[in-house]
Amino acid sequence: MHSYYDIFEQCKKGDAKAQRILYDLFKGKLMGLCRRYTQSREEAQDVLQESFIRIFSHFNQLKESDKLESWMKSITVRTAINYYHKGKGRALMFSNVEEVEHHPVTDESSLQNFTDEYLVSVINALPDGCRIVFNLFAIEGYSHAEIAGMLHISEGTSRSQFYHAKYLLKEKLKCQNLMHYYEKFS
C-alpha cells in the first residue's frame, strides 16, 4: 500500500489502515480550509472530524483517485457551511456588515510581522457573512451564482458581502501601514 492509487483503492474497501494514511496525508490541508470558515481552532477541529466522517462514509461515490483531493475539499467546504448554518442560523449570517476593529501600527516593522497567521486572523475577524463569501469566492474559486446556491442567498448578496470583505480587509491593511507595500508589489 505504497502508492496513492493503492491507498485510494483500499479506502474504497473500508480498510482502516488506509483511511488513517489518507487522514494523515490530508488533515493539515483540510484543517487549514476549516480554519478559514470557523472562528476558533476547536470549531475547525469539529468541522474537520465531521468532514472525514462524511468523506469515509461516501467514499464509494468517488470513481477516480485523481479527483480525490478536490472531492475532499468540496465535502469539507460544504461541511463547514452546514456547521455554520446549524450554529448560527441564516438570518444572522448576512446581517448588516459590522465594522472591524482597527488598531493602527506606526512601527515600520509591521511588514515583518505580516505572516500567514496574521492574514488568517484578519480574514477570520471579518463579519461571518463576509468571511464565508470571501473564502468561497477568492480562495476556493466558486462563482457568485454557486455561492448563492450553497448559502441560499441571492447572487447580489454574495457580491455585496464580497465587496464589503474586500473593503474591510483594505481598511485593516491601511491601519497596519501595509497598504503601500501591497500597492508597491502588486
> Helix and strand tally (H, E) in the chain?
10, 0
Instruction: For residue range 97-139, list pLDDT tens digits in order.
Output: 444 444 444 444 444 555 667 777 888 889 988 999 999 999 8
Q: How many domains does the chain have?
A: 2
Gap between the Cα atoms of 173 and 182, Å rounded: 9
Residue 182 has what pLDDT? 52
**Of the residues 29, 54, 88, the one at which a domain ends:** 88
pTM of the model: 0.72
Same domain, yes or no: 101 and 84: no
**Of the residues 88, 110, 140, the one at which a domain ends:** 88
CA distances 62 to 3, 28, 29, 143, 162, Å, are: 18, 21, 20, 24, 32
In eight-state DSSP terms, residue 136 is I
Question: 75, 51 in Cβ contact below 8 A?
Answer: yes
**Of the residues 65, 88, 111, the one at which a domain ends:** 88
Same domain, yes or no: 60 and 79: yes
Same domain, yes or no: 62 and 34: yes
Same domain, yes or no: 69 and 127: no
Residue 34 has what pLDDT? 92
Q: Where residue 27 sits, what CATH number does that domain have?
A: 1.10.1740.10
Which domain covers residue 158, as residue numbers? Answer: 97-186
Residue 66 has what pLDDT? 86
Same domain, yes or no: 70 and 2: yes
- Residues in the chain where the model's pLDDT stays below 50: 1, 89-93, 95-111, 185-186
Residue 143 has what pLDDT? 95
Same domain, yes or no: 111 and 71: no
List the one residue out of 134, 54, 71 whose CA is nearest residue 144.
134
